[in-house]
């Protein structure tokens, strides 16, 4: 109940018939009111707690010259939201797209996600080192936090993901777009896979696309298929008098699935229990810190100094292609936050000569700078710089100082070359592997024709894209088809050429083709000689039909 207080000039009037107890109550109330008036500067109070204050009826004499002022109740103190402990909750609080969209395309993707708990488990594990940084960068730009889920659609948060079209990294940047956003790509380093650089480039690109299209769904479509294609689709619909929302445009199948996938993911993150999904907690705290290396550094040495495994170091620095950091930078490494200070201290004490391992090599007959560089998994330019050479000319007996991997290059399992070898050795059911050496004039198209395989699958077997350039002498894995017989058993056979043999005779004997023998053995000539060792891949169930 509210009780009006008199103004400073008003007098109180009390009924003389009031009892003594009533007088005491009034006197008590008057004292309280007087104190409140002193404290409030003679302003009126709108509400008084009815449970703690006696209710007293009293008459008030109003003076027409004085008017009571209204006082607003004090504004409630803002509720400080508790900091989320889990990054999924942090994303949940920053969702900003139209997640109530139940378009059939969205529901199709939602049904698939809802049936694949294992997929979300893998995504949570893979995203753990990167998600905090990505969310922080997104929040700084004021974008919807659905954008932190883009790497789920792009790469399933695999930093080494590489598409048949040539896109790479968490954000699947194409080479040209990556270059446009300052992501360097060379033999030593690919900025499209650099977690920090690529994340900033991707979010900057999304902001730019949103400014261009004024719509996050169209911006996402443009990120996936290119802004030019999306703009042409909009122009076409506009000229035909049709709506120009994402859902009305004629875009490639991959793009028409891309935006619905992101919306479906947003729905699940917003309410995982509704869809029967459990999201593994990812702590809401920084995972990595950046340490400046001050120059080129062997990755095995960096792993030793930082106290983490070599593979973990590469997963935090997936932009590095080789066994060391690039000689020309970037001169920095990401390491777990808890390891950063100790790593920085140890690195400062490391002698310059211990940063890399060096080998003395004496030039042999037939050597060239490029062949030596390939042998030691380095670059001709680096050998020239280390040995203060003006050109590529070398002479027999010349001594060269060459930087080499400290642990043997096969132990750097996440370098570009070792990842390619692992892919090449991944067994393909029903096929046999042929080790093919690239010759002058070869291309993915010509090689695929020789072995009757697809261009895309040939590139995929070698962890490459069909557009990638082949170099003479490069080793490729070709998984060739068998005879077509489901019961075929392919075995590698080493055959020693005998007197009187010819390629056609050997081919007939083992039920293979001459062209296959040539490809398996990388012949420079069609002539063979007794004692020559040939490699054959033979279906032992019909080799002698």
Q: Active-site residue numbers? A: 154
Determine the Cα–Cα distance for residues 29 and 54; give it in Å rounded to an integer: 8
By residue count, the chain amounts to 545
Asked if residues 289 and 340 have their Cβ atoms less than 8 Å apart, the reply is yes
Phi, psi torsion values for 222, nearest 5 degrees = -70, -35
Look up residue 253 and give its DSSP letter: H
Determine the Cα–Cα distance for residues 353 and 412; give it in Å rounded to an integer: 21
Asked if residues 60 and 4 have their Cβ atoms less than 8 Å apart, the reply is yes
Ramachandran bin of 124, using left for φ above 0, alpha for ψ from -120 to 50, beta for the remaining angles: alpha
Nearest to 495 by CA among 510, 482, 508: 510
Determine the Cα–Cα distance for residues 384 and 401; give it in Å rounded to an integer: 10
Contacts within 8 Å (CB) and 24+ apart, 525-533: 528/497, 528/501, 528/502, 528/503, 529/497, 530/497, 530/498, 530/499, 530/501, 531/496, 531/497, 532/496, 532/497, 533/494, 533/495, 533/496, 533/497
Cα separations in angstroms, 241 against 39, 71, 235: 69, 58, 10
SS3 198: helix
Nearest to 26 by CA among 37, 36, 15: 15
Look up residue 283 and give its DSSP letter: B
Q: How many CA atoms lie within 13 A of 369 on its CB side?
A: 18
Ramachandran bin of 142, using left for φ above 0, alpha for ψ from -120 to 50, beta for the remaining angles: left
SS3 425: coil
């Amino acid at each position: 109940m509210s009780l009006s207080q008199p103004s400073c000039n008003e007098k109180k009037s009390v009924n003389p018939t009031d009892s003594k107890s009533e007088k005491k109550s009034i006197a008590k109330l008057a004292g309280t009111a007087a104190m409140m008036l002193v404290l409030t500067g003679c302003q009126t109070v709108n509400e008084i707690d009815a449970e703690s204050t006696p209710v007293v009826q009293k008459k008030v004499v109003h003076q027409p010259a004085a008017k009571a002022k209204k006082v607003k109740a004090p504004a409630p103190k803002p509720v400080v939201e508790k900091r989320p402990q889990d990054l999924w909750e942090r994303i949940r609080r920053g969702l900003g797209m139209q997640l109530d969209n139940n378009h059939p395309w969205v529901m199709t993707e939602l049904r698939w996600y809802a049936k694949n708990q294992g997929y979300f488990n893998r995504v949570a594990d893979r995203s753990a080192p990167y998600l905090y940084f990505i969310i922080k960068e997104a929040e700084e730009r004021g974008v919807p936090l659905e954008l932190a889920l883009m790497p789920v659609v792009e790469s399933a948060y695999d930093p080494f993901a590489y598409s048949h079209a040539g896109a790479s990294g968490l954000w699947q940047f194409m080479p040209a777009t990556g270059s446009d956003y300052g992501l360097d790509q060379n033999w030593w380093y690919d900025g499209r896979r650099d977690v920090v650089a690529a994340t900033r480039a991707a979010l900057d690109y999304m902001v730019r696309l949103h400014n261009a299209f004024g719509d996050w769904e169209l911006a996402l479509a443009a990120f996936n298929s290119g802004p030019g294609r999306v703009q042409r689709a909009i122009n076409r619909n506009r000229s035909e008098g049709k709506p120009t929302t994402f859902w009305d445009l004629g875009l490639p199948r991959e793009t028409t699935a891309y935006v619905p996938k992101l919306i479906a993911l947003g729905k699940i993150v917003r309410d995982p229990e509704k869809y029967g999904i459990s999201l593994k907690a990812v702590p809401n705290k920084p995972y990595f810190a950046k340490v400046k290396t001050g120059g080129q550094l062997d990755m095995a040495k960096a792993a030793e100094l930082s106290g983490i495994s070599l593979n973990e170091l590469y997963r935090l620095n997936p932009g590095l292609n080789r066994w060391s950091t690039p000689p020309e930078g970037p001169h920095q490494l990401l390491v777990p936050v808890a390891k950063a200070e100790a790593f920085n201290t140890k690195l400062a004490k490391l002698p310059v000569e211990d940063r890399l391992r060096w080998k003395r090599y004496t030039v042999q007959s037939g050597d060239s700078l490029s062949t030596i560089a390939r042998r030691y998994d380095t670059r001709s330019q680096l050998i020239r710089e280390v040995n203060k050479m003006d050109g590529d000319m070398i002479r027999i007996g010349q001594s060269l100082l060459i930087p080499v991997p400290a642990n043997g290059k096969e132990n750097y399992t996440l370098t570009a070359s070792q990842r390619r070898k692992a892919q090449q050795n991944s067994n393909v059911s029903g096929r046999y592997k042929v080790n093919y050496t690239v010759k002058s004039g070869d291309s993915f198209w010509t090689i695929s024709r020789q072995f009757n395989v697809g261009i895309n699958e040939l590139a995929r077997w070698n962890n490459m894209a069909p557009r990638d350039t082949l170099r003479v002498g490069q080793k490729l894995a070709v998984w060739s088809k068998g005879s077509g017989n489901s019961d075929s058993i392919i075995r590698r056979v080493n055959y020693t050429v005998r007197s009187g043999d010819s390629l056609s005779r050997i081919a007939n004997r083992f039920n293979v083709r001459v062209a296959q023998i040539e490809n398996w053995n990388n012949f420079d000539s069609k002539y063979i000689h007794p004692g020559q060792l040939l490699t054959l891949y033979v279906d032992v169930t019909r080799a002698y039909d």
